[in-house]
Amino acid sequence: METPTARIMKENSFRAGVSYIKPYTSYFGVVSPLKGLELDGRVTTFSETTFAEQSSTKDKSIGMKYQFRTEGKYMPAIAIGIMDPHGTKIFSSQYFVASKQFYPFDFTLGFGNGRFGSEPILGPQTESFKVELLSDPKKWLEDSQFFGGIQFSPSDRFAILIEYSPVKFHEQTVDPVQPIFFTEPVPSKFNYGIRFKPVRWLEMDVSYQRGEQFGFSISTSFDIGNPLVPIYDRIYNENHFDRKDPFTVKLTRAIHYSGFSSVGVSLTGSDLWIEAQNERYFYNTRAIGVILEILSGSNLDAQL
């Protein structure tokens, strides 16, 4: 909602969407060109205000997040992020954040300055590009505050979110909406949300933030270079299974019902090729093991 997590999109994927929480409307895009790295761009419009000496009510920002430690059995995923380091710096921040999943709960704890800190980072009247986390670590540490949240996901398509956001809206003097909407502290620093994922590529959020405003977000994601239409993803009915179906059809059916999608199976001579998208198992090695168990735990391998 307002605070980041240490989660990173998978490599070669892209997400685009729009979010609204008064007085902000944001149009955003995020791409992961390399493993563990996210680059994002955002255009934010503001309600009932204009920048000083400007006719535009829009602000453009860029950012990045790098996950330098992946999640293990006991250790959390840890990432570093840089938000809006250039220009007006309305949403500028540098932060460390850690996330750990204990299914179905996903916990996040972060520490950052600027937007999340005790005071805003000044805009173009100072340095046009500066990252206090690197240039002045002591200053960054003094200005930073904690943030965090919990996501409860009883299923792959539904989640409940609670987060603690330390943003001091009434002290964000570089924000053009501050004198209009945030003359006093917001009623609550806790935000609540519900996340729906009706299909694999679509995500919708409804939230109640700051103790006074409802918001929403909708986004779509896809893999760069992969077809939007699955290679082969036919769903087989248990009551209409034909024992005369070829081996590849039987194997595709078994893999699909084990929690995979976009399943493709090809048997060329003595070579068996299997392609499947893992959306269920936390570790890819476990996903591979499941497919091997399907082969060894049935009579399918006898047909090779």
pLDDT at residue 97 tops 90: yes
Look at 269 and 169; give whichever has higher pLDDT: 169
In this structure, of 58-67, 257-266, 289-298, the range with the lowest mean pLDDT score is: 289-298
| Long-range contacts of 45-52, Cβ-Cβ distance < 8 Å, separation of 24 or more | 46/176, 46/177, 47/22, 47/23, 47/177, 47/181, 48/23, 48/177, 48/180, 49/23, 49/176, 49/177, 49/180, 50/176, 51/88, 51/176, 52/176
pLDDT band at 304 (very low <50, low <70, confident <90, very high): very low
Read off the pTM. Answer: 0.72
Q: What is the pLDDT of residue 250?
A: 80
Domain 13-222 has CATH 4.10.93.10: no
Q: What is the pLDDT of residue 258?
A: 80
> What's the pLDDT tens digit per position in 52-65?
444 447 899 999 99
pLDDT at residue 233 tops 50: no
Residues of the chain above pLDDT 90, percent: 53
Looking at the DSSP bridge assignments, the partners of residue 145 are: 112
Q: Where are the domains of the chain?
A: 13-222, 238-303
> What's the pLDDT tens digit per position in 16-26?
999 999 999 99
Q: What is the pLDDT of residue 242?
A: 60
Classify residue 29 as exposed, middle or buried by CB count within 10 Å of its CB (0-12, 13-18, 19+).
middle
> What's the pLDDT tens digit per position in 176-229?
899 989 999 999 999 999 999 998 889 999 999 999 999 999 999 988 766 555
